Each structure stands twice: as structure tokens, then as C-alpha cells.
Amino acid sequence: MKMFKLTITMIALLVFSSNEILTQNYNDAFRLGESSLDFDSRTMAMGNSTLALGGNFASSLLNPAGLALADANVVELSFNSNSLENTSTFFGVNKTVDRNNNNFNQFALVMPLPTKKGSAVLAFGYNQLKDFNSKLEFDGFNSNNTSMIQTLNGEDIIYELGLSYPTYDLDSSYLGDVTSINGQLHQSGTILEDGTMDSWVMSGAIQATKNIYVGATLNIISGTYKMTRDYLEDDFDNNSYSGLLDPNDANTNDFESFLVSDVIDQNINGWDFRLGLLYEMNSMLSFGATIKLPTYYQVEEFYRISGESEFAATAFSYESPDAQYEYSVTTPMEFSGGVAVDFPFIDLNGSVKIVDYSQMEFTEGFDSDIMADKNLEIEEIFESAVSYNLGTELTFPYPKVKIRGGFIYNQSPFKDDPAEFDKKYLTAGLGFQFSEGFNIDVTYVHGWWETFGDNYGFNESRTNQEISVDKMMMSLSFSFM
């Protein structure tokens, strides 16, 4: 069952009702643990399938053993341009938005070391692992008897905005807050996501014996994530609430609208370590395998929320104090294997990766019982997922041009998700050698998948989404002895 990324309701309910650090959930862990996509232009053009090919900086992240095949000093630079389009369907209303950004996403230095026999190579650099760029807008009339106001009834924000009132028994004992709102409201909203996950890479590889290479990579990870969300409910369509919401407060006459806004800011730090093996069976066929050990993250999070309500003659506002949280997440091991076949003028590559996302864990920042509940929720929601990568490279000797293509299939790790929720990417690119040591590679990537989100409850205020991404990349490499 697919769940939504940290809905407004969940955040608000937990922040307002408790001082415990309860806002973080499985979506925060998955955002960190989801496998990376971005590499250099050549690797992306071949569908990130070069785990058994090696020879460039991307090997440090796909299979560090492949670095041992590098035979010259290389400096690499990469840039990309990203475009996302999200079409939401909300109570029968379609709304399409897009978002663009540009990034410098890689700088690398690959250095073969002098050896009497075999090979030894070191690599250092920067690589953008993830781009959190995203946008969603929705707008429609919810004719059901549900609303965010009803979901948050009993919380300070609803009372302070004049949307509920307290009730008492005959002995003047407090019974609880009551709201006169009973759905039938127009609902709309915008969610923006920004940020990147970056890694500083230190990698090395050697030829262990004839035709066998081993390598290791240490990644020091840092990044930022920001989510900004505005959610609005209004009564302009039907004017269902023209009377007093609070029978004892004339200011609550003729309800018009309710707006809640919240912002999450995260600073992320972490590290991971991976080991790789590459075996060249002969001049045409090679195999590779990689193990990425669990990644350890420290997250510093800042959260703020505010609200507004409007009535015919009055407006109310609410703002909670900023909250700061710190917690730790461990994401699961990854196991990858691949094969490369080198025919004259054409290379064929394929790889498979398996990740058990149910092994994600919150490890610090919560009371033990709360942390156990969060981790149990992860086990119940997630399962193992398999990613498939295919790619090819066709070489023309005159002029020195390479044509590349690939396909990426990332299975959704949410239990019972249909195939439409799996992420698919088609890739294509060209490589140009302008001189013996200077190459330019360009790549185009198109991806598509479906998802959905719940603003509150389960399927009570749902956005069904069709997402497509388009990416243009360019990499420059300079080889020297």
C-alpha cells in the first residue's frame, strides 16, 4: 500500500499535540535511502549499467574495482539541467506544473599510480548524488464530509483560528472542542521541494591478481532538503457555513477560508563505504560485483508552521514557535552485480541491484518505544526492490564519435505498489573526442512514473500524480600522463 510523503495533517497533529519528536517518519528515511541516479554524462547515457566496465570516475560509486582499469590521469567536470512535470488529478480536476533547475554535479580526479606490475589507481572528487527538486499543485471541490479542519479538531491551531469551540458538561467540566465544519469545502495547495545530496569521494583500486581487480570507496555525504507547503480550504463554492462557527463568538460568522503553511529545513550529514570486485574473463567478457554497506546519516531539522482563517468581517492568525530536532537514520546495504561484453565497435552492459528497504532504521533521537514504533512501521510498509540497468555504446573510429543508449528500471519498494509506480528512464547520448586527451559527452534522460498523496486520512483528500522528468547532461574530461 503506497503511502504519502509526510502529509500536513501528520505534521500538524504531532507537533501540536506533543513535545516529543514525532514528526519524522518513514518518508524521511526513504528520502535518504532511495538509490542514487546522477553520475557523469557517459555513465548516464548507458543507463548507469557500467558496473562491470570501469575505467572512469563513475566506477568509484558503481564499482570501485573498475578504477583499476584507468590508464591515464583524468580530470572530469559534469553539468546538468533538470526539468520536472507533475500532473495531478484531484477530485476530477487536472493540474499540471513544471519546475526546472541547473546544477554543477561532478568534479573528479583519477590518478593511476606507478607500479612494477599490475595497476593501482586513486580517485578523488565531488558527485551530486540526489536532486530533490519537485513541485505539486492541486485544486478541486471535496464533496465528502471530511476536511483538514475536522482532522485537526482539538488542536490549538483550530481553536486559535476560531474554527472550533470548547464544550462543557452540566458541572462545567471540559468535554472537548467541537467544530461545526463538516466537509463540503474547496481544497487546494502547493508543495515545493528543494535541495541536493552531495558526496565527497575517496576511492582506490588495485589489480589483486591476473584479471581480478578490487577496490573500495569512502563517501562523505552532506546535503540540504527543504519542503514548503501551503494548504487551503475555503467555502466560496457553496457558502455552506454562513452562520456562526462558535455560537458564543460573533467574529466567527460566515466562514470563508482556512490556510495552513509549514516549512521543513534539514541539514544532512553522513557517510558510507563500498567494496567492489571486477573479473575480466577474457578480452571480451567481464563481470563485476559491489557491496555498499549501510549508510549512516545525521539529520538536523528545523520546523515551523502557521495558519490563517478568514470570516466575513474578521481574520485570525496562528504561528507556532520554531522547533528543532536531531535524529539519526541508517539506510540498508545494497548488493549489485553486472556484466560487460566488448564486441568490435560496440559494448553491451547490464547490471542488477537489490536493496531491502525494510531494513531502514531510525537509530537515535527518539525514546526507545517511539523509535521501535517507527521502525516497525518501516518493516510493514517497505520490502526489497530490484533495479535493472541496461546500456550500450557504439564506436565510430572516423570521426571519433560514440553513440550511447540505455534503460533504467527502479522498482518501487512500497509493498503492493503496481508497476505504474516503478520509476523508468530512457537514456541516450553522444561522445566526441576532439583530441587525444579531450572528450565531451552529452546525454538526454527521460523518466516517468505515477504516485499519489493524501493530504489527510486515507483516500479522503488524495492527489493522483503522473510525473515525468527530463535531464540534459554534459561532461568534459581531460586526460594527461
Does the structure show a pLDDT above 70 at 11? no
pLDDT band with cut points at 50, 70 and 90 for residue 397: confident
Which residue would you say has higher pLDDT here, 92 or 10?
92
Residues 201-215, mean pLDDT to the nearest whole number: 95
Q: Total domain count for the chain?
A: 1
What span, in angstroms and rounded, lies between the C-alpha atoms of 304 and 320? 7
CA 286 to centroid of chain Cα atoms = 32
pLDDT of residue 3: 40
Q: Is residue 1 domain-resident? A: no
pLDDT band with cut points at 50, 70 and 90 for residue 480: confident
pLDDT band with cut points at 50, 70 and 90 for residue 208: very high
Phi-psi region of 154 (alpha: psi -120 to 50; beta: other; left: phi over 0): left
Q: Is residue 72 domain-resident? A: yes
pTM recorded for the entire structure:
0.91
Mean pLDDT of the chain: 91
Cis peptide before 413 (omega within 30 of 0): no
Q: Which residues pair with residue 408 across a beta bridge?
A: 389, 425
- For 210-358, where are the E strands, in sequence order? 212-234, 255-280, 285-292, 295-311, 315-319, 323-331, 334-343, 346-356
pLDDT of residue 67: 94
Closest residue by Cα to residue 144 from 392, 458, 438, 423: 458
Q: Which among 9-23, 166-180, 390-404, 414-428 has the top mean pLDDT?
A: 414-428
45 by DSSP, 3-state: which? helix
What span, in angstroms and rounded, lies between the C-alpha atoms of 355 and 358? 9
3-state helix vs strand vs coil in the chain, percent to 5: 15, 60, 25
pLDDT of residue 23: 60
pLDDT of residue 39: 84
Q: What is the Cα gyration radius of the chain? A: 26
Residues 77-85, mean pLDDT to the nearest whole number: 94
Q: Is residue 217 domain-resident? A: yes
What residues make up the domain containing 156? Answer: 8-480
Q: Is residue 146 domain-resident? A: yes
Closest residue by Cα to residue 23 from 40, 42, 10, 4: 10
Does the structure show a pLDDT above 60 at 236? yes
Residues 402-409, mean pLDDT to the nearest whole number: 96
For residue 406, the 8-state DSSP code is E
pLDDT of residue 14: 37
C-alpha cell recorded at residue 1: 500500500
Does the structure show a pLDDT above 80 at 213? yes
Does the structure show a pLDDT above 70 at 12? no
Q: Which domain CATH number covers 335?
A: 2.40.160.60
Which residue would you say has higher pLDDT here, 476 or 116?
476
Residues 348-371, mean pLDDT to the nearest whole number: 94
Which residue would you say has higher pLDDT here, 120 or 17?
120
Closest residue by Cα to residue 374 from 10, 1, 8, 9: 10
Q: Is residue 110 domain-resident? A: yes
Q: Is residue 195 domain-resident? A: yes
Residues 236-242, mean pLDDT to the nearest whole number: 89
Q: Is residue 3 domain-resident? A: no
pLDDT band with cut points at 50, 70 and 90 for residue 6: very low
Backbone angles phi, psi at 14, to 5 degrees: -75, -40
Q: What is the pLDDT of residues 264-293, one digit of tens each?
A: 999 999 999 999 999 999 989 999 999 999
Residues 42-68, mean pLDDT to the nearest whole number: 93
Q: Is residue 436 domain-resident? A: yes
pLDDT of residue 20: 33
Residues 238-256, mean pLDDT to the nearest whole number: 92
CB 90 within 8 A of CB 139: yes
pLDDT band with cut points at 50, 70 and 90 for residue 92: very high
pLDDT band with cut points at 50, 70 and 90 for residue 225: very high
